[in-house]
Structure 1
Amino acid sequence: MFKIQLQHILAIAAAGYLFSCTKAIDYNDPVSDDKTKPEAISNIKVSNFKGGSFITYSLPKTENLLYVKADYVINDVTGKKRQTKSSYYSDTIKVEGFAEKKEYEVTLTAVTRANVESDPVTVKVHPDTPVYKLVAKSLQISADFGGVNVQTSNVNKKPVGAIVLYKPDGAPDYAIYEQRFSDIEQVSFSSRGFDTLPKQFAVYITDQWGNNSDTVYKTINPLFEVQLDKNKFFGNTLPSDGKVGFGWVLERLWDGNHGSGWHTVQESMPLPIVATIGLGVSAKLSRFKLIGRSGYEFAHGNPKVFSIWGSNVAAPADAVLPVFAEEGAVIGDWVNLGNYTWPGPPSGANPTSPTAADRAVYNQGMEFNVPFSAPKTRFFRMAVSESWSGATMAHAMEVYIYGNTN
């Protein structure tokens, strides 16, 4: 069954605004009795940007003027149209969502409170290359553990979506397998759930106005991945590791019970708070899933900022880990496998007051990718540099670790 995962979709929805004005206005104000036809706008100037244009003008001298509207086609292929409005408080209107870097016509009309329209004025705009096309230029897809990895650069940090398509053997066409929406600068995610046989994938970039880039097609052999056997895990507490409190011993972190976990003492302790797990095998890690403590979502000692360190030696010596180190940094027998931040509430609410939906998402756990460049490891060492409460303690309920043990 195909799955659709929407990430940061609130950023896309919020960006789909219809009006551009300097002051909020109700376009349903009581109708005026003045049926005088307004003059057309004049002194038009255009300033172009990526995917759109600002149009400035002089307003007609009409006392009951309500707004100026712009009507335009944003995609010549689909014929899709947009309309934006700007109130009489402003001398500028923003038109955007254009699919190409080319010339477009925009029709501007002044409208009174009596809903009487001026003669339309047509202006030509020439928006620069839209962001979705710029993002598509750096789009790359490659094999990953259990699936395909998608990477691209969004230097403008505008909302875009990366759409992953998959064509099963014998299927007549591709279908959407996963969708990821975000406005972050460096986009990197993996679509998983596949065996290692050759698979037909495709990816394209879209924006909030429904413009789609060219599609990149590629046949990929996903890399072998398994969930590491928790029966082989063992506690490998080192002198600089966090001191366990309340009887919440380290072994509870992989006992399969999300109602119990690992918890350090609530005392003034040096950061980071560290826990070291022996994996029982040497594995190239692909990802891990961490389950936080329910009832304390985005709070208390649940990890917020942390790193994962690994060692592939049989009995690694202790090393005092820093609060932060670059990915790939080596300290003694340990190498930094990745740095992570647990995302805040999906709704955008303050972490101190998450919604019920935010809590539900949190309690499903959070999955984190291990960089493909990370070396094989026999030990999984989590170093919490910041908890959600800022206290010098940490707790977590369960960890699931994946990778290639061959």
Structure 2
Amino acid sequence: MISLKKILLFVVLLCVAAACNKADFVKPQDSGPLSGVISGITVENLPGSAKISYSLPDSKNLLYVKAVYSTKPGVFKEVKASYFKNYMILDGFADENEYEVKLYAVSRAEQISEPVIAKVKPLTPPVIAAFRDLQLKATFGGAVVTFTNSAEADLSIFFLAEDETGKLVPVQTFYSKQQQVSYSIRGFADKKRKFAAYIKDRWDNYSETVYAELTPLLESQLDKGKFSIVRLPGDTWEPNVAARTLNKIWDGLTTGAGNSFNGKVGVGFPQHFTFDLGVTAAISRMVYYPKAVAGDSYTTTARYFEIWGSNDPDPDGGWDNWVKLVDCELIKPSGLPGSEYTAEDFAYCQAGINYDFPPGTPAVRYLRHKTLSLWSGSNLNVYEITLFGATQ
């Protein structure tokens, strides 16, 4: 026999279920027509974008404001802003022309008001400003492109080079949002050929293409068989693990457990080590292989470091006879902190990181690696350093 308590519980559950079903079919409140339109419009033109401020219609039915506009011929975009805001940013414009924007008030029932027209005239888009500053020049083993990205916009840089048939073909693409951009393509013989470069932003707006006929400077890889350790006072050349000595950085092994130079723990920063190239060379670039071990990358990996050069090192370990050749930052494509990293970050390390030395870098015989800070940990790990340039 069913108890009274069970019957009451059954009734309560039926009521809850009925309430839930009813809630599923509740229609939007205040679904009547909107009263009023967007008014009081002001425009602030920005690089490649515009900020539109406005007054909202006095309507309890208002849900959001929608802008419909063109960013270039044949390309349309919508931007929405909730009724909690009285402005919106319109971006993605390809040039400095004047554009018409239609602003709509939209109700909770998705009823749309009559459009109100605003006119915007964006300032120079970052992709165009960057292109106007772009220079394409010869460098060791190829060509280098440089420009200023004042807006720190996300930009893609496309390189093309002439192939054996005389046709310009894509070679490499770089990505950057740094203010000062400098990227090089390498691996070309020292004979005249055509190069080209152009820039694209994240809205698929393209710059024009710059063309140049250039003769790459002669570049060759320095012979690692001539490298040797220089033990200067104050340097941290001693390994933390006996078998992982400084000469690991020129043994040709760029990954794998036990194949890196493993510096001393607890010596503090900055710390530095020195090695002899065995020849005097004007270095054009360095391919740097940091710690790249699955599950343990970016631990004891340099974040900021410098490369110094000398032809007559101070025997007391001082810095009087040294000149800084290049500042280096080891970034993470993901932007994650500390020892955290993604598959993309790991691949970035494994592939080796190129650091270009500036034109006019003096020829030196001795190099000094000065570590300023690590991504994490207290001692430095470096797998390999490969150097290119012109020997004397």
Same fold, TM-score > 0.5, yes or no? yes
CA distance in 1, matches of 2:288, 2:47: 39
8 Å Cα contact 1:39/1:62 also seen in 2: yes
**AA aligned opposite 2:287:** K
CA distance in 2, matches of 1:204, 1:359: 28
Q: TM-score normalised to the size of structure 2?
A: 0.85
Instruction: For structure 1, list consecutive stretches of 5 or more residues without a partner in the other structure.
Output: 1-28, 322-330
Match of 2:321 in 1: 333
Matched, 1:298 2:298: yes
8 Å Cα contact 1:70/1:109 also seen in 2: yes
**AA aligned opposite 1:220:** L
Q: Cα deviations across residues 234-290 of structure 1 (Å, max 9, x unaligned)? A: 2222222214132122222211234423223223x3643222111111111111122
Change in 2 beyond 3 A, CA 1:162/1:355: closer
Q: Give the RMSD, CA atoms, in angstroms.
A: 2.2
Match of 1:96 in 2: 91
8 Å Cα contact 2:291/2:298 also seen in 1: no
CA distance in 1, matches of 2:101, 2:337: 41
Matched, 1:318 2:302: no
Match of 1:397 in 2: 383
8 Å Cα contact 2:66/2:78 also seen in 1: yes
Q: TM-score normalised to the size of structure 1?
A: 0.82
CA distance in 2, matches of 1:385, 1:319: 21
1:388 to 371, 375, 384: 375
8 Å Cα contact 2:62/2:107 also seen in 1: yes
Match of 1:162 in 2: 157
Match of 2:8 in 1: none
Aligned pairs, number? 360
CA distance in 2, matches of 1:167, 1:149: 15
Match of 2:342 in 1: 355
Q: Cα deviations across residues 53-93 of structure 1 (Å, max 9, x unaligned)? A: 111222122222221111111113xx221111111111112
- Greater length-normalized contact order (CA 8 Å, ≥ 6 residues apart): 1
Q: Say which SS state the counterpart of residue 166 (structure 1) adopts.
A: strand
1:48 to 45, 49, 65: 45
1:255 to 242, 247, 251: 251
Instruction: For structure 2, list consecutive stretches of 5 or more residues without a partner in the other structure.
Output: 1-25
**Structure number, greater radius of gyration:** 2
Q: Say which SS state the counterpart of residue 345 (structure 2) adopts.
A: helix
Q: Cα deviations across residues 133-181 of structure 1 (Å, max 9, x unaligned)? A: 2111211111111111111011222222222222324355x33322222
Moved more, 112-121 or 356-365: 356-365
Matched, 1:177 2:174: no
Q: Say which SS state the counterpart of residue 352 (structure 1) adopts.
A: coil
CA distance in 2, matches of 1:30, 1:276: 75
Match of 1:120 in 2: 115
Greater helix proportion:
2
8 Å Cα contact 2:200/2:206 also seen in 1: yes
**AA aligned opposite 1:43:** G
**AA aligned opposite 1:299:** T
1:204 to 188, 198, 206: 198
Q: Say which SS state the counterpart of residue 397 (structure 1) adopts.
A: strand
**AA aligned opposite 2:302:** P
8 Å Cα contact 1:273/1:394 also seen in 2: no
2:215 to 221, 224, 232: 221
1:277 to 266, 275, 278: 275
Matched, 1:342 2:326: no
Change in 2 beyond 3 A, CA 1:136/1:202: same
**AA aligned opposite 1:52:** S
CA distance in 2, matches of 1:31, 1:145: 67
8 Å Cα contact 2:196/2:210 also seen in 1: yes
**AA aligned opposite 2:222:** L
